[in-house]
Amino acid sequence: MNFCSDNTAGAHPKVLEALVAHNAGAAMPYGNDELTQRVEKRIAEIFERDCAVFLVGTGTAANVLSLAALTPPWGVVYCHPGSHINCDECGAPEFFTGGAKLMPIAGADGKIAAADLDGAITGAGVVHHAQPASISLTQATEAGTVYTEGEIGAIADVARRHRLGLHVDGARFANALVSLNCRPADITWRAGVDILSFGATKNGAVAAEAVVVFDREKAATLGYRRKRGGQLWSKMRFISAQFDAYLKDDLWLANARHANATAKTLGQGLAGVPGARIEHPVQANEIFVTLPEPVIRGLEQDGFKFYRWVEGGQLLRLVTSFNTEPAHVEAFLASARRHAARGTQAAQ
């Protein structure tokens, strides 16, 4: 009954089966095997466009390699203050870019508004200032919301006007995609995205992320960057095998739909709990909810695990995953209601 994160879940059984299935025989290392090449093509098909694909082992790596491909050491990366690259990478973006500056652009529900971004871009061509270079959006956002195709397009317009690269951190890309019920291309290159961190780990893989570069010219340095970044697996077939299973028969979409659906149930249920306040629209697999302290303590005592978003605060983040059991959601809601009811009685 763990709602801490989608990375507390294990991997989908089919992903593990694929590791076993592709274990037989010799395979050339470092991605020079047939399976890897097949997976790279499959990803291109899914995005309906020729693209350069770089498989890596972690989301941090996918993000910072992407940013490094778009941002010189003296560049500025515009991002949401709450974005993973800004808060939770221990300076990995600065490290991989060689010293770029992350410039936070605040915005409601974890999203950057195009107009705010536009207003924040200054200093181009002036040697005293770090240079506007790239934008990084998170899709689904760290607030559990989703950028629409139109919102991304508006930001891409700003990017184009200022000649900035546009990156999307898609650690939860599948969750956003099924939420929007559109095609992968619609919210990536067709909307103006240059590079996508296409995450699989949180949605059922072991450790598998892909840097998908929609314009091959922007990929020129990435082979070298991946290698010297320590991300070129010798037994690359084992990342590829994960993606092979992940993408086969739309497993990735099914996984995301399950996670989103359980999140929806959980969010809707919590909205009806006395004293609860849902902080952001529940559009993917995360719920941000403020609860009365006694309810939080009650849930903890009942064995549920989750994070208080700020230490000691009453704002909780609850995350569902591809294998969250509906029964656990129901149990969580029941517990919350029970403790809320007690609080109400006590207050009377």
CA–CA separation, 72 and 124 (whole Å): 13
- Residue 10 Cβ vs its own copies, minimum distance, rounded to whole Å: 4
φ and ψ at 319, to 5 degrees? -125, 135
**Distance of alpha carbon 85 from the chain centroid:** 11
- Residue 92 Cβ vs its own copies, minimum distance, rounded to whole Å: 4
Radius of gyration of the chain, Cα coordinates, nearest whole angstrom: 21
Residues 6+ apart with CB under 8 A from 188: 47, 168, 196, 212, 214
- Residue 227 Cβ vs its own copies, minimum distance, rounded to whole Å: 4
CA–CA separation, 155 and 88 (whole Å): 24
Q: What angle do CA 280, 283, 287 make, to 5 degrees?
A: 50
- Residue 161 Cβ vs its own copies, minimum distance, rounded to whole Å: 18
- Residue 28 Cβ vs its own copies, minimum distance, rounded to whole Å: 6
* Alpha carbon distances (Å) from 175 to 14, 139, 289, 322: 19, 8, 19, 10
CA–CA separation, 162 and 123 (whole Å): 11
Nearer Cβ to its own copies, position 30 or 281? 30
- Residue 224 Cβ vs its own copies, minimum distance, rounded to whole Å: 4
Element (H, E) at 199: strand 195-199
- In the block, tokens 């006590």 appear at 346
Neighbours of 231 (CB within 10 A): 21
Nearer Cβ to its own copies, position 23 or 344? 23
- Residue 279 Cβ vs its own copies, minimum distance, rounded to whole Å: 20
Nearer Cβ to its own copies, position 28 or 271? 28
* DSSP class per residue in 266-282: HHHHHHTSTT-EE-S--
- In the block, tokens 């403790």 appear at 339
Nearer Cβ to its own copies, position 305 or 342? 305
Nearer Cβ to its own copies, position 35 or 155? 35
Nearer Cβ to its own copies, position 148 or 335? 335
CA–CA separation, 300 and 189 (whole Å): 43
Spatial CA neighbour of 153 closest among 190, 180, 105 = 190
CA–CA separation, 104 and 229 (whole Å): 25
CA–CA separation, 347 and 270 (whole Å): 20
- Residue 233 Cβ vs its own copies, minimum distance, rounded to whole Å: 6
Nearer Cβ to its own copies, position 10 or 281? 10
Nearer Cβ to its own copies, position 187 or 200? 200
- Residue 64 Cβ vs its own copies, minimum distance, rounded to whole Å: 6
CA–CA separation, 49 and 51 (whole Å): 6
Nearer Cβ to its own copies, position 60 or 188? 60
